[in-house]
Amino acid sequence: MAIIIDGKKVSAEVKEQVRIETEELIKKGIKPGLAVIIVGDDPASRVYVNNKKKACEKVGFLSKEFALPATTTQEELLALVNELNEDKEINGILCQLPLPKGLDEKAVIEAISPLKDVDAFHASNVGKIMIGDYDFLPCTPAGVMEMLHSYNIPVEGKECVVIGRSNIVGKPMAMLLLHENGTVTITHSRTKNLKEVTKRADILVAAIGKPKFVTADMVKEGAVVIDVGMDRDENGKLCGDVDFENVKEKCSAITPVPGGVGPMTIAVLMKNTLKACKIQNNL
């Protein structure tokens, strides 16, 4: 029976550390601030933004939400980003993706000051991650690494397979595993004989976006399985990219959905905002 990696617990520990450090900063008259922009009325985005707001309140940050209508123009959105870039109360800026059709996500990401880019999506931060000299790590992959550290799961020398090559999860995930000396393979929809590749993995990370895609026959006995997916099953119930019930019988450790990677993403966002605040205050 596998160890169920408890993302809620690790996330609470990370947030508690952020809260303690924030308390110290507040004593010095410095309060970290996060601005969250949400455009349109996508229900999933609304849930994510509310969770981020709640986390900010818990750790003691100033949190400002900018809820814009779906009719917002690119110019209006960029004007808000520029205003927040200059706002001394704000240390981190996050624009909840996806944006409604007609808005250019890439341009918005590039407009956010790299110093306030707490999602680490800006090209300059992505480049810094590539060369291993970074201020911020992308929240979801960094959250996965925090969980591995917390459970003393070493990466060095391990066969690591990442399914998915998106800019926000798959690619940076592979890079972080590589930084810790894993032997990393990235797979995607054009990968041939996927099962043969995933079965080599000591650490398998699924970031596909397809419910229960990773089945037990794709997993090596004793592997560590990290499920980044946030999907809905045939009954509309939240599930991951991994067939949890069957895979857990075969692997040594596994993250559940919900309660695995999801809470970690927000914890790292808090960590990044605190770091941004410290950097901007020369601390």
- Would you list which residues are annotated within the binding site for NADP(+)? 164-166
Options 209, 215, 246, 252; binder of ligand NAP; rule CB under 6 A = 209
Amino acid at site 170: G
- Catalytic-role residue among 15, 52, 116, 248: 52
Q: Does 162 help bind ligand NAP (rule: CB under 6 A)?
A: no
- Nearest approach in angstroms of CB 147 to ligand NAP is 11
Q: Is 74 a catalytic residue?
A: no
Catalytic: 217? no
The minimum distance between CB 268 and ligand NAP, in angstroms, equals: 9
Nearer to ligand NAP, 93 or 230 (CB): 230
Is-catalytic flag, 231? no
Judged by CB under 6 A, which stretch of 66-74, 85-93, 157-165, 217-225 contacts ligand NAP?
157-165
Count of residues that interact with ligand NAP, criterion CB under 6 A: 25
Residue 201 found at the interface with ligand NAP (CB under 6 A) = no
Report if residue 138 touches ligand NAP, rule: CB under 6 A. Answer: no
Candidates 164, 172, 182, 256; binder of ligand NAP (CB under 6 A) is 164
Q: How far is the CB of 97 from ligand NAP (least distance, A)?
A: 9
Q: Which is nearer to ligand NAP, 115 or 270 (CB)?
A: 270
What is the token pair recorded at 114?
């790299």
Tell me which stretch binds ligand NAP (CB under 6 A): 9-17, 67-75, 107-115, 224-232.
224-232
**DSSP-derived secondary structure for the chain:** --EE--HHHHHHHHHHHHHHHHHHHHHTT---EEEEEEES--HHHHHHHHHHHHHHHHHT-EEEEEEE-TT--HHHHHHHHHHHHH-TT--EEEE-SSPPTTS-HHHHHHHS-GGG-TT--SHHHHHHHHHT--S---HHHHHHHHHHHHTT---TT-EEEEE---TTTHHHHHHHHHHTT-EEEEE-TT-TTHHHHHTT-SEEEE---STT-B-GGGS-TT-EEEE---EE-TTS-EE-SB-HHHHTTTSSEE--SSSSHHHHHHHHHHHHHHHHHHHHTT-
Indicate which single residue of 194, 216, 238, 279 sits in contact with ligand NAP (rule: CB under 6 A): 194
Instruction: Give the number of other Cβ atoms within 10 Å of residue 104's Cβ.
Output: 13
* Cβ at position 110, least distance to ligand NAP in Å: 19
Instruction: Pick out the residues of the known binding site.
Output: 164-166
Answer for the pair 233, 239: CB distance below 8 angstroms, yes or no: yes
Chain residues 62-121 in contact with ligand NAP, contact rule CB under 6 A: none
Q: Which of 15, 116, 119, 158 is catalytic?
A: 119
Dist CA 42 CA 134 (whole Å): 32
For residue 257, report the phi and psi dihedrals to the nearest 5 degrees: -135, 120
Rank residues 30 and 97 by Cβ distance to ligand NAP and give the closer one: 97
What are the residues binding ligand NAP (CB under 6 A)?
140, 163-166, 168-170, 187-191, 194, 207-210, 228-231, 261-262, 265
Q: Which residues are catalytic?
A: 52, 96, 119
